[in-house]
Amino acid sequence: MALNLLFHKEIRDHHLFKDFSDESFQYILQTSGILSLRKNEVLFKCSDIAKHFFLLRSGQITLFQTSLEGNEKVVNIIQLGETFCEANMFIESYYHSMNAKASHDSEVFYFSLDIFKSQLSYTNKSCLAMMAEMSHRLKMQTQEIIDLSIHDAQYRLVHYLLENCSQIEDPFQCQPTLKLSMTKSILASRLSITPETFSRILTRLKKQALITIKDDVIFLINYDELVKQVGYCVEKKSKVTINEPLRFIA
């Protein structure tokens, strides 16, 4: 589906596009569009030819790999406003390295890798913004490798809860919460934890009076103790707005 004028400002406000000239921006849009996906519908498969990168407008996208035995490993969960597959424009590969499917009914904008790359040479700001975000992504992926190598399953889950709980002014004076936007099985796969181990850890944390769970909401009722378990560095994080940089996903 081609993009109509209603979507132009929405895309223009994203940090990847805001520094392009009007001429470059319109040139990029000529080969862009929007796709609507139903829940569990496949966007692309591993080894499909990679011609586009994507920006998630609504819903949620799961990036995953499948073993020869049919086991799925969730590589990442794409959230609203995040881009993915843009790294393909900088490597000598014409194929996707993983699978992508909609976790919920979703909409994604798509953009030509070749066209977007051709316009980067006209704006240093866009190049620097992309380099900064990809450097941040590399740092996060390096940390993930470290977590998988030296930390156990409970550490990874607790760290995820602390990293993704709702942002509040003073986490030690309020009760942070985390509303799950994915199934527990998908989250377990993302953290490289089996569903059985994932459930046991949640049960253990509840028995220790560290969390409570109601439907798809996890309440961190003893934030201090959870912080001590993982040596988590508490930082005040500002709320993300549409004009703030959003991280890249490979």
Tens of pLDDT, residue by residue, the chain (250 residues): 567 777 998 999 998 898 999 999 999 999 999 999 999 999 999 989 999 999 999 999 999 998 877 788 898 899 999 999 988 888 876 889 899 999 999 999 999 999 999 999 888 888 887 888 778 778 877 877 877 778 899 999 999 999 888 744 444 556 788 888 888 889 999 899 999 999 999 999 999 999 999 988 999 999 889 999 888 654 433 333 333 333 334 3
The confidence score (pLDDT) of residue 150 equals 84
- Residue 235 is predicted with a pLDDT of 47
Q: At 185, list the tokens.
A: 């099985």
Closest CA to 57 of 127, 8, 119, 129: 8
Q: Global pTM?
A: 0.74
Cβ–Cβ contacts within 10 Å for residue 63, how many? 23
Per-residue tokens: 202: 């949640």
Q: Which CATH class is domain 151-230?
A: mainly alpha
Q: Where are the domains of the chain?
A: 5-142, 151-230
CA distances in angstroms from 26 to 32, 114, 184, listed in the order given: 10, 15, 41
Contact predicate 248/131, CB 8 Å: no
Residue 95 pairs with which residues in a beta bridge? 49
Residue 232's pLDDT is: 65
Class of domain 5-142: mainly beta
At 250, list the tokens: 């490979």
- Encoded tokens for 53: 């990168």
Residues in the chain: 250
